[in-house]
């Protein structure tokens, strides 16, 4: 049986609780029901001067935020950090940091202007998720294929050392304007159960090359010195979101 496209998935999840909705979405992603253009990671390279030495960092990131469905019928899916972490754990990937988000915007071939929707009680509903996806698609330039590294479309769900002392929160950052300035500074004011249309999950491979030598991304973020290659905020005790017990 063919995997469902986004139109069918939207109908399935529109009236579900957050927990049931995310269980279905995580299952779709892990079963491989994602657009073909999301199955190849994009290279992201940048340099960092650390203690007088230059380091060249090479990451591999999703070209767009996490989506379900087919190339011609897909949906960018806001997720809680726990749902995103389950997918990351299953794919040997990680969520971004604000520093990686900035580097991604700088490297992106396509930088779209943010498309905010006025705040309302509906901003956490699937119908608004879908509306925002279509707003993004309406601004997608003709001739630029999906799978091109794109930025500016969503706030990123990110890792930050603040979460070490603020359990039960989600950290969001980014939604860079056309001048490169993020609309959203790193923010941890929402519960980790808050999921609205503006949130995007961008995953990055945990296999990182630093001056040609492979490292684990989480290990770097927890290192007392090398954290600065991937973050502007300090070392993390745990470079992940804590999963709720089942």
Q: Does residue 239 lie in a domain region?
A: no
Q: Does residue 244 lie in a domain region?
A: no
Q: Does residue 96 lie in a domain region?
A: yes
Q: Does residue 213 lie in a domain region?
A: yes
Mean pLDDT by 10 residues, the chain (246 residues): 91 97 98 97 98 97 98 97 98 98 98 96 97 98 97 98 95 97 97 97 98 98 98 97 76
Q: Which of 63, 89, 91 is nearest to 76 (CA)?
A: 63
Position 192 scores a pLDDT of: 96
Structural domain boundaries, residue 106:
6-229
Instruction: Report yes or no: 64 and 76 within 8 Å, Cβ to Cβ.
Output: yes
Q: Does residue 189 lie in a domain region?
A: yes
Q: Does residue 246 lie in a domain region?
A: no
When divided into structural domains, the chain yields a total of 1
Q: Does residue 245 lie in a domain region?
A: no
Q: Does residue 138 lie in a domain region?
A: yes
Q: What is the rounded distance in angstroms from the CA atom of residue 87 to the CA atom of residue 84?
A: 5
Instruction: Report yes or no: 144 and 116 within 8 Å, Cβ to Cβ.
Output: no
Position 245 scores a pLDDT of: 60
Q: pTM score, two decimals?
A: 0.96
Q: What is the rounded distance in angstroms from the CA atom of residue 150 to the CA atom of residue 2?
A: 28
């Amino acid at each position: 049986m063919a995997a469902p496209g986004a139109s069918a998935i939207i109908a399935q999840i529109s009236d579900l609780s957050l927990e049931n909705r995310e269980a279905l979405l995580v299952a779709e992603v892990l079963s491989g029901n994602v657009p073909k253009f999301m199955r190849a990671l994009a290279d992201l390279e940048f340099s960092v001067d650390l203690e007088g030495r230059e380091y060249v960092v090479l990451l591999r990131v999703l070209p767009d935020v996490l989506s379900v469905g087919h190339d011609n019928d897909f949906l960018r899916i806001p997720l809680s950090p726990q749902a995103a972490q389950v997918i990351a754990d299953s794919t040997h990937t990680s969520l971004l940091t604000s520093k990686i988000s900035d580097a991604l915007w700088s490297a992106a071939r396509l930088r779209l202007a943010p498309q905010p929707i006025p705040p309302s009680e509906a901003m956490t509903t699937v119908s608004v998720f879908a509306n925002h996806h279509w707003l993004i698609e309406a601004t997608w330039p003709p001739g630029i294929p999906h799978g091109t590294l794109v930025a500016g479309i969503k706030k990123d769900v990110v890792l930050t050392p603040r979460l070490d002392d603020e359990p039960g929160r989600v950290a969001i950052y980014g939604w860079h304007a056309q001048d490169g300035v993020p609309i959203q500074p790193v923010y941890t004011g929402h519960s980790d159960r808050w999921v609205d249309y503006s949130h995007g999950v961008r995953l990055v491979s945990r296999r990182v090359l630093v001056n040609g030598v492979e490292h684990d991304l989480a290990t770097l973020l927890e290192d007392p010195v090398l954290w600065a290659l991937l973050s502007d905020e300090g070392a993390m005790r745990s470079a992940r979101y804590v999963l709720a017990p089942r």
